[in-house]
């Protein structure tokens, strides 16, 4: 593939090349993927959002297993307990399998708050959180997605 000469005046309005491309490991080349086993950096306490009142002030400690797409269902064997309104609403949504992101969106709960509350409800035995074992789906699963996507019009 040939590219136009960058100094050629015939191409005056070309987009500039991606700036951090040649940057070394120590340069300020944007955000880097966090190492897997490292905790995310602690957030500035003054920047925490008000919704965290309903998590008793906790802004982290959410189970890293609980992703946005993680499916949650009611634990049918759960013993009835008194729950906060937010938790009651979450349990009410989980009669059918539902993702954490959907819970957050439908209840207008902050995503971080939702993850903490779902984790609490799981620990309390009220919810089943369906954690996937292998992080990356296998080729067979991807093939099923491809077939399913091809089928839509």
Q: Which is nearer to another protein, 70 or 87 (CB)?
A: 70
Neighbours of 109 (CB within 10 A): 21
Residue 120's contacts (CB-CB under 8 Å, 6 or more residues apart) are 87
Segment 33-72, which members bind another protein (CB under 8 A)?
33-34, 40, 43-44, 47, 49, 61, 63, 65, 67-72
51-59 long-range contacts, CB within 8 A, separation 24+? 51/109, 51/110, 51/113, 52/110, 52/112, 52/113, 54/84, 54/86, 54/113, 54/117, 55/113, 55/116, 55/117, 58/116, 59/112
Q: Footprint of another protein on residues 81-120 (CB under 8 A)?
A: 96-97, 99, 101-102, 104-106, 110-112, 114, 119
Q: Which is nearer to another protein, 86 or 102 (CB)?
A: 102
Told to check if 8 binds another protein by CB under 8 A, we report no
Position 9 contacts another protein (CB under 8 A) = no
Least separation in angstroms between residue 5's CB and another protein is 11
In the bound complex, what is the minimum distance in angstroms from residue 95's beta carbon to another protein? 9
């Amino acid at each position: 593939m040939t590219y136009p000469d960058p100094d050629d005046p015939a191409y005056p309005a070309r987009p500039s090349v991606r700036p951090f491309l040649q940057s070394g490991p120590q340069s300020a080349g944007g955000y880097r993927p966090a190492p897997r086993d490292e905790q995310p950096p602690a957030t500035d306490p003054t920047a925490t959002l008000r919704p965290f009142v309903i998590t008793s002030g906790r802004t982290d400690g959410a189970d890293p297993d609980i992703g946005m797409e993680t499916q949650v269902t009611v634990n049918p064997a759960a013993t009835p307990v008194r729950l906060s309104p937010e938790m009651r609403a979450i349990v009410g949504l989980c009669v059918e399998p539902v993702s954490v992101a959907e819970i957050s969106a439908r209840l207008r709960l902050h995503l971080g708050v939702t993850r903490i509350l779902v984790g609490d409800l799981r620990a309390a035995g009220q919810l089943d959180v369906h954690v996937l074992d292998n992080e990356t789906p296998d080729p067979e699963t991807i093939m099923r997605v491809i077939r399913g996507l091809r089928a839509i019009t």
